[in-house]
Structure 1
Amino acid sequence: MENRPIQIPRLKLGRQGLEVSRLGFGCYGLSGVYNNPLSHEAGSAVIQEAFDRGITFFDTSDLYGRNHDNEIMVGKALKQLPREKIQLATKFGLVKLDWDRHSQYVARGSPEYVRACCEASLKRLEVDYIDLYYAHRIDVSVPIEDTMGELKKLVEEGKIKYIGLSEASADTIRRAHAVHPITAVQMEYALWTRDIEDEIVPVCRELGIGIVAYSPLGRGLFAGKAVLEPLPPESLLPAFLPRFSGENLEKNKNLYSRLAILAEKHACTTAQLALAWLLHQGENIFPIPGTTKVWNIDDNIGSLSVKLSEDDLKEICDAVPFHEVFGERSATSLSQFDWKFANTPSK
């Protein structure tokens, strides 16, 4: 019998009309950070494999990879795929000041900067339009109305189709949505990062905005990274993410162990259970796990068949207590950004 691509459900992301695959693909890791960066050929092959399995929603940024390498790689991959079947998301507005240090960033959102970034991304991606264009971080020195005004013009010109925000506060989301409808808000959301449930999730549901969950596997920890296998020497995780550093990592490994026990009960992998938990948080939640390994794509897709009851969901939350996570989620100073998502550990 001929093998066919796995059929992944497609749902509306927000109320503005954008339809995407239930699981997306985060392209960030293809350009390094967790491992050595892949060649453009190897990265394009992974993206092709994801598409062949039914994933059509791909996420990148002008920040990812040195010299915007990730957008260039994704653009090359798109040359091999039917553009009309792809939902392409990219971002602007987060600038790394020094590539030799891990925490020197600044947000930029002036109208002139928005337009210049969009034009540059279109060229690197070699596309005529971007399906979903995010402000990667909110520049608190610029009124969000000014940033949104320029994004609205880009929609009217056909250069972008839908507008998104990443790591924005509830107030900013409301103000931005008043200028032009927001289709999606991208936030870090995983079993060990659940701050958004208090304010962000409710306001997005009220306004009909989809939530795109990045790092849904805890930067790979819930798939066994740094637990079942050591981190590769080139990984920047310990320097970039305090949760993977020293004593914090040793203590956080217990979270994986607890989840693994429940995964065995549900006859699935820990990664599948972590993603299934997210998928059961509502149809407006769209995880975008990434990987450099094709077999992980299949494993992630398997999460769609894991069924969980309310009791199961509570048991999973109890097994991975959010307030027992050791280490903040980022070494980057978040004080200058709109959404101060610090995750201060309780221990």
Structure 2
Amino acid sequence: MGAVGVEHRERAGPSEARQVGRGRGATALVVLVLLVTLLVVALASVAVGARPVAAGTVLDALFDPHGTPDERLIRESRLPRTGLGLVAGAALGLAGALMQSLTRNPLADPGILGVNAGASAAVVVAIGFAGLQTFTGYVWFALIGAAAVAGLVHLLGAAGPGGATPTRLVLAGMAVAAALTALTSAVLLIRPDVFDAFRFWTVGSLAGRDATVLWQVLPFLGAGALLAAAVTRPLDAMAIGEDGAAALGARVGMTRLSGALAVTLLCGAVTAAVGPIAFVGLAVPHLARALGGFAHARTFGYSAALGALLLLSADVLGRWSARPAELEVGIVTAFLGAPALMILSRRARLRRP
């Protein structure tokens, strides 16, 4: 009997190895396709605008420190804009995946749960009453606003029997976001003189952001990404339940706190830099899990890549469709994301992250 078992394992071994190899090969292929697509979209982002430029000019601008006016336009405006779109989209995709995992809510999203609205309202107050006009000035307001609203929505959603169900969290987030939208409108009515300071910012846009904003936002996003990476293993353990995760040695409370801090850093910094952008964090994690399964390390990695791809593609589409003017990226993502929300909400059986 023992010999039969040994022979069976020897026969099964190569087959299992081939399956593992095919799985790794498929993963490598997906990663390669994502990277190539990101590169193509990034080049399109640099080339497309009110004044289109040739591909050769784009390449020359990367190496010529002086160059033609088109090359200076690329270096000083379009390259920073493309870089900011990449990191902002990656941060929003990662934040959405993290929120869906922490709340076990497939409809969780920084916009739907009011986190973006909290950051936006805080920035509007900072611009209207504190006179702040730069990212450095109001980023801390955005972080505080995002954290406060995240805590408030969770408290409202957890009130009553049954705790914080997905439906309650969504309803609480929408109610808080509506109240904060009213606050923003009130500030506009009270201080019409500052309307121009944030009228483009408040719809979400990458236009007009230079390299300074990109370098200033990177430390916050980097810290948020590191915190998200640190909680991947505990979140895998929490997928079997909090009691089981605690038995495996996971620190559930610390994991939730670290995850919430990561979401605050990612959403608050992006909102301060480019304004509120909705729906990226909602749809992207579902695509990421379809590509890489439910292991959080893969989900987070794919979500970051897909978020960058979606946001930058939306920005290119907004510039291409309305030339010589442009549609702000927040408007384009709203057009793309609203159908995604309706499709997800109508699915009868959503798999929990």
TM-score range relative to shorter protein: under 0.3
| TM-score normalised by L of structure 2 | 0.24
Q: As a proportion of its length, which structure holds more strand?
A: 1
| TM-score normalised by L of structure 1 | 0.24
**Greater RCO (Cα-Cα under 8 Å, separation 6 or more):** 2
Q: As a proportion of its length, which structure holds more helix?
A: 2
Q: Which is greater in Rg?
A: 2
